Amino acid sequence: MPLGANKAAIMGVAGVSTGDVVLLSSQTASNDASIEFTSGIDSTYGEYIFKFYNIDTATEARNFSFQGSIDGGSNYNVEMTSTVFVAAHNEADATPALEYEAGNDQAQGTAYQLLMNQLYVESDLCGVGELHLFNPSSTTYAKHFIVKTAYIYGATTVGNLHVAGYFNTTSAINAMSFKMLASGNIAAGKIKMWGVK
């Protein structure tokens, strides 16, 4: 696909196809406990992409996270298995790191899965990224996902987090939830949901 077509696909208008990618929904946080997508996730598309723009926390040192639902958002507790690694580097050009995050993976867990680690409340700090969810409506296979995010934590360090895994269910995933772990609200930011044919 030519570069221009890719750009058009990503900059599309809600509900209007610009190639193979369709913008289905957009939600803007304003000190919300969570952002949930409870409609539009169905068999229409084989892949759903959730993009995160300028995610900011209302409470110091909180982790942005996600979970899925098989009952339209009544419960977010689907069993998942995941793997997590992060690359990090700070403004002082010190303590670069590339490491596996054993404390943030899951093995048949039902907790919310980490997307961004230790977000801070300073006015110029935020996080961005994307989550790809594949074939959520399948009643045969588990539901795979991959995540890539970039964010500032500890006020001066960039983190590049990578997550991959699967929801271990043959029931359809039909809702997704995003929130800060432990406690605290999403102060600001936007999440857009895209469908890919």
pTM above 0.85, yes or no: yes
Spatial separation of the C-alpha atoms in residues 182 and 197, rounded to whole Å: 36
Per-residue pLDDT tens digits of the chain, which is 197 residues long: 454 444 444 444 444 445 589 999 999 999 999 999 999 999 999 999 999 999 999 988 889 999 999 999 999 999 999 999 999 999 999 889 999 999 999 999 999 999 999 887 877 889 999 999 999 999 999 999 999 999 998 888 999 999 999 999 999 999 999 999 888 899 999 999 999 98
C-alpha of 131 from chain center: 4
* Amino acid at position 81, single letter: T
Structural domain containing residue 31: 3-196
**Structural domain total, the chain:** 1
Spatial separation of the C-alpha atoms in residues 104 and 102, rounded to whole Å: 5
User: Backbone phi, then psi, for 98, in 5-degree steps?
Assistant: -140, 110
Residue 137 sits at the vertex; the CA angle it makes with 48 and 101, to the nearest 5 degrees, is 55
